[in-house]
Amino acid sequence: MKNDQIHDQHSGTRTASRRTVLRTAGAAVLAASATGVTAGVARAAADAASEAASRPYDVIVVGAGYAGVTAARELKDKGLKTLILEARGRIGGRTWTSDYAGQLIELGGGAVDPKQPNVWAEAKRYNIATVTDGGTIDNYVLPSGNGFAVVPIADASARIKSVFTPFFDGVQQLFPQPYQPFAQPALLNDADKLSMQDRLDQMRLSADDLKLINGTTGGLSGGSSKRGAYTMLAQSWALSGYTYEGYQSINTYGLQGGTVALLQAMLTDSGADLVLNCPVAKITDSGSGVTVTTKSGKNYTAPHVIVAVPVNLWKTITFSPALPSEYTSVSTAGIGAPNVKKIFMRVTNSSAGTFIAGPQEGFPLSTTIPERQLSDGSTLMFAFCLDPTLDATNPSKVQSVLQQMVPGIKVLDTKVQYWGADPYSLGGWACRQPGMLTGPYRTIQQPRGRVAFATSDIATGWSGYIDGAVESGITAAKQVTTLAASTR
């Protein structure tokens, strides 16, 4: 999800998108994951939940997104039996392969890339092909003065690059080893105090140039560039190879069958038992074992637990003993970007042809991107919305906003996921706030007693991406394996 928001906006020529899939294979995986019956002894029914409560497990994993499923698979390889408790009626967390307009779509995160080694290795491991979507883009719709201008894609890309690249001056010194972000503590301590708005203020851009960049910084931050840490975006730049071309190419590849195809393969391999529709209310660490209590009052026990839900959700779970202040303060402040909606729509009558739109910060829609042409002559597009007041389920409301950028365009219908209001995410992609990386971040990556944590929000590398979720799941499994060996 985050990678769509940031990087597609800056693609010079879009030769690929994330959601090209083989529909037949993808639909089969969707059906399987929706019923929760394909992983080991995976279950969703009430009687299966009761049975799972009475079975012995080495580890309970809370959350069936990429972090939790990766952890379960890694634990299986260490000989540990795992139960996964998932609040939703589906697997995937903040990834969500769904269906709209006769197409498979990703309502959450969807992109993978060779520069993201963890998820790329997983796709190869399970023989899940990476795919690209052809198609040309005619124009870029950019802010101009008090309105918008339609600019040929090559000209627009060159202009954006010229403004965007200086935003990252000094990043190679700040993050010389992108997967070891604390390698330059003196530089990092100063840089991590900056919001993205602080960095923009340092650049003293013209009003027009500022609009070319603050749509990205504001969008990543969840609405305001004042919220997001400069180091969050700077590390992504470093991980991308310190170049505009590397940075803007992150969204080239998707997974055949959608993100759910790879996740289902990993889940099946894990041999884990899965209970869906099972939100967790309390986690109690007695010192000799852990009890997980669901909102329905059912108790599950195991020697160890991995909490594999977004940081924003930690505050909704009662921990006993209570988590230290670093955990609670970060969860209250939030890492997952607030107010995030992802909107899919069918459009016609575009006066700008096939276009990407990159509005300035504060506009109701953020990045708007074409997905593919449909057989009925309409274009499937998606956009991000950070305006909590816009009813994106109403096509006419979305059309009235879109027409401010592209006069005459028509929105036939929409499909929306409001991540900010989703009770099991409470936010979208990860975006640390100023001071978090050098403050509580390293602490919240660590276990507390017999409880470990796994989420892309706390990844050391690609935080906020599928790759970061896989990385964090691997790390949490290692932590628990070490704990299990020391407590036998």
User: Into how many domains does the chain fold?
Assistant: 1
Q: With respect to residue 327, please indicate whether it lies within any of the assigned structural domains.
A: yes
Q: What is the pLDDT of residue 486?
A: 86
Instruction: Please say whether the beta carbons of 447 and 308 come within 8 A.
Output: no
Tell me the residue range of the domain where 265 lies.
26-94+256-335+434-486
Q: What is the pLDDT of residue 73?
A: 98
At position 42, the amino acid (one-letter code) is A
Q: How far is CA 77 from CA 73, 452, 486, in A?
A: 7, 18, 18
At position 266, the amino acid (one-letter code) is M
CB atoms within 10 A of CB 198: 15
Q: With respect to residue 264, please indicate whether it lies within any of the assigned structural domains.
A: yes
Cα–Cα dist 405/311, whole Å: 35
- 222: its two tokens: 């969840």
Strand partners, 380: 346, 372
Say which CATH number the domain at 295 has: 3.50.50.60
* Residue pointed to by tokens 């969204």: 251
Strand partners, 292: 283, 300
Q: What is the pLDDT of residue 252?
A: 84
Q: Nearest-CA neighbor of 141 among 411, 406, 419, 445?
A: 406
Q: What is the pLDDT of residue 432?
A: 98
Q: With respect to residue 296, please indicate whether it lies within any of the assigned structural domains.
A: yes
Cα–Cα dist 163/143, whole Å: 14
* pTM of the shown model: 0.92
Cα–Cα dist 366/341, whole Å: 10
Cα–Cα dist 244/229, whole Å: 19
Cα–Cα dist 237/231, whole Å: 10
Q: With respect to residue 373, please indicate whether it lies within any of the assigned structural domains.
A: no
Q: Going by DSSP bridges, is the β-strand pair 130-131/254-255 parallel, antiparallel, or unpaired?
A: antiparallel
Q: What is the pLDDT of residue 19?
A: 35
Mean pLDDT by runs of 10 across the 488 residues of the chain is 43 36 44 46 54 80 98 97 98 98 96 96 97 81 95 94 97 98 96 98 97 96 97 98 94 94 98 98 97 98 98 98 98 97 97 95 94 94 95 98 97 98 98 98 98 98 98 98 88
Q: Going by DSSP bridges, is the β-strand pair 97-100/82-85 parallel, antiparallel, or unpaired?
A: unpaired
Q: What is the pLDDT of residue 41?
A: 47
Instruction: Please say whether the beta carbons of 32 and 146 come within 8 A.
Output: no
Q: With respect to residue 58, please indicate whether it lies within any of the assigned structural domains.
A: yes
Q: Nearest-CA neighbor of 89 among 80, 81, 98?
A: 98
- 86: its two tokens: 């998932």
Compute the half-sphere exposure of residue 488: CA atoms within 13 Å on the CB side of its CA.
7
Three-state secondary structure of the chain: CHHHHHHHHHCCCCCCCCCCCCHHHHHHHHHHHHHCCCCCCCECCHHHHHHHHHCCCCEEEECCEHHHHHHHHHHHHCCCCEEEECCCCCCECCCCEEEECCEEEECCCCCECCCCHHHHHHHHHCCCCEECCCCCCCEEEEEECCEEEEEEHHHHHHHHHHHHHHHHCCHHHHCCCCCCCCCCHHHHHHHCCCEHHHHHHHHCCCHHHHHHHHHHHHHHHCCCCCCCEHHHHHHHHHHCCCCHHHHHCHHHEEECCCHHHHHHHHHHHHCCEEECCCCEEEEEECCCCEEEEECCCCEEEECEEEECCCHHHHCCCEEECCCCHHHHHHHHHCCECCCCEEEEEEEECCCCCCEEECCCCCCCEEEEEEEEECCCCCEEEEEEECCCCCCCCCHHHHHHHHHHHCCCCEEEEEEEEECCCCCCCCCCCECCCCCCCCCCHHHHCCCECCEEECCHHHCCCCCCCHHHHHHHHHHHHHHHHHHHHHCC
Q: With respect to residue 358, please indicate whether it lies within any of the assigned structural domains.
A: no
> Per-residue b/e over 129-162, b at no fewer than 16 CB within 10 Å?
ebbebebebebbbbbeeeebebbebeebbebbbe
